[in-house]
Amino acid sequence: MASAIITATTAGIFTTPAAEDRTSVLLAPSAIPAPVEKNTAVQTVAAAATAGKDRWRDWLWGFLAVLCLSQFYFVRELVAALALFVLAFGAITAVVVGVYMLQKSWELVVARLAAWRQPVLTVSPATHNTRKPA
């Protein structure tokens, strides 16, 4: 990379200028630009800072657009309708989830009772002597 820059700058120094440039070189030798190496790290940081500023500007313009649009009546109506739909669907979702959890809980209780295998009520078998004659 450095050899390419050196080759390019030396080629610019040792070439003969065009006819119209010869007079300016002869009259003002300080007019020849000195070869300057470009610092890519500084350029990269500067480009990143500019890109960051551009992103923040985009967000700022978006926020201002939303703020301006929210001042219109129909936008307020749409936001109010959205809020009502969110509440309604949230209530429906809560009921469905509640019923589902109750069903799963009941399933678990029944499965544990079946695995327990102990009778809830113990009844001794009736003997033949306890029957009353007819």
Is 8 a member of any domain?
yes
CA distances from 28 to 15, 24, 33 (A): 17, 6, 11
Is 110 a member of any domain?
yes
Is 76 a member of any domain?
no
Residue 115 pLDDT class (50, 70, 90 cuts): confident
Domain that holds residue 89: 81-116
The whole-chain average pLDDT of the chain stands at 75
Handedness of CA 22, 26, 31, 36 (dihedral sign): positive
Model confidence pLDDT, tens digit, residues 38-81: 666 656 666 666 777 788 889 999 999 988 887 888 878 998 99
Clarify whether residues 32 and 47 are in a common domain: no
Clarify whether residues 43 and 63 are in a common domain: yes
Distance CA 64, CA 58 (A): 10
Is 27 a member of any domain?
yes
Clarify whether residues 43 and 67 are in a common domain: yes
Clarify whether residues 6 and 21 are in a common domain: yes
The radius of gyration of the chain from alpha carbons, rounded to an integer in Å, stands at 44
Domain tally, the chain: 3
